[in-house]
Amino acid sequence: MTWIGVASGSTFALLGAACVLLVLVGVPGIWLMVLGAICTDVFLAPRIGDGGAIFGWIPIGIAAALAVAAEVVEVAAAAEGARRGGATRAGAIGALIGGIGGGILGTIFLLPVVGSLIGAAMGAVAGAVVGELSVGRTLRQSAKPAAGAAAGRLLGTLAKLPLAAGAWLALTIAAFMA
């Protein structure tokens, strides 16, 4: 392996790990990794080293499949939590928007990882309550859907994390094997 290969693999390993952590705040980190790998192989790889692919299409395909699975798992968990809580459509949408916003704010104002999870859960609660209130439900009627939405959001994000780590691992191994 050349020094260019080691440098590219190391750089991707660090940036990819950051992308995995971005999943915790609701940012599509897995998709950023996949897009980065595609752009690297299409635009950068032909210009450096021997011109061969750094990742290859099979590892990129594996990472993309894991990204799709992660999205399905996250949406299913959030929907199930909201459903079990009895949320309306407005409450579920509010929980989704609030969860993303809360995850970002939690990262900024609290600890980067734990704060993201706490912020996402608190944001989901606030968003679900606002959504439920907007369709005429009372604050008391909004409590159960809000709790269900928060639990679903939290479990969905936590379930997405190992899939993001798997995509990172597939691409990192491919980068060092190039």
What averages of pLDDT result for each successive group of 10 residues across the chain (178 residues)? 76 93 82 92 76 87 95 77 85 83 80 72 87 92 88 86 96 88
Q: How far apart are CA 27 and CA 64, in angstroms?
A: 16
Tell if the pTM clears 0.85, that is, is over it: no
Pair 12, 36: CB distance under 8 Å: yes
What pLDDT, on the 0 to 100 scale, is given for residue 111?
Answer: 67
Tally of structural domains, the chain: 1
Phi first, then psi, for residue 45 (nearest 5°) are: -55, -40
What pLDDT, on the 0 to 100 scale, is given for residue 131?
Answer: 92
The parent domain of residue 151 ranges over: 3-177
Pair 121, 153: CB distance under 8 Å: yes
